[in-house]
Chains A and B, each alone.
Chain A
């Protein structure tokens, strides 16, 4: 059971806009930045979004992040076949055992 809750799966057709949610609590998302990672099959995770809505250089602007209260979302517009991957949200958690928490991951399928 992950501290951050994501839907296990999402899907869309090429060109569509898809959103992936990430729900947490006041000790993590509610008080810290949210990060998003993309993991293509058989590869290491790659940073997609940092500090809620910032894109590292090289990440297309089709990817965007937002946060409101204790929830966050990743939006992918103009969906492409190469976007088929697992997506994870993460945040620092201020609870007794200060640590990093990840969502369980969302498998995105491009139909």
Chain B
């Protein structure tokens, strides 16, 4: 069974940093693109970033370029999102998902940016 479990969310002040993690199991992690997708409270889905199987290609939505970094550790079956210079508008549930266009999704972790 495919499982994706996010962690690392929480309350952070504007300008602060946070690192999200996603532990994957039930499939060959190194064979799949992986993605982060977010959903602000009461809003729709917004793709944030994705990363190729070997980490050689990474793509970001314009609003997070230069602030967020996606990475992965295939030996640990883990996906990460380093978020710096956080803004109020980054407040959202962040989902870890399998695939360039996702097929499986985690349950999400809430990130709240507020003073």
Contacts and interface: CB of A to CB of B under 8 A. Distances in A.
Contacts of B32: none
B16 to A, nearest CB: 25
B95 interface: yes
B89 to A, nearest CB: 15
B35 interface: yes
Q: Main secondary structure on chain A at its contact with chain B?
A: strand
A54 to B, nearest CB: 11
Interface string B96-115: 00001111111110000000
A45 B106 contact: no
Contacts of A46: 105
A45 B95 contact: yes
Contacts, number: 55
Interface stretch (B23-31, B40-48, B69-77, B78-86): B40-48
Interface string A77-111: 00000000010101110000111111111000000
B45 A45 contact: yes
Interface residues of A, number: 26
Given A47-B103, A50-B103, A101 B47 contact: yes
How many residues of B sit at the interface, in one of the four size bands?
A: 20 to 34
A105 B102 CA distance: 16
Contact of B62 (A35, A92, A97, A100): A97
B101 A102 contact: no
A91 B47 contact: no
A104 B101 contact: no
A60 interface: no
A99 B102 contact: no
B101 A33 contact: yes
A102 B45 contact: yes
Given A97-B62, A99-B60, A99-B61, A105 B101 contact: no
Contacts of A99: 47, 59-61
Interface of A: 2, 33, 35, 37, 39, 43-47, 50, 56, 86, 88, 90-92, 97-105
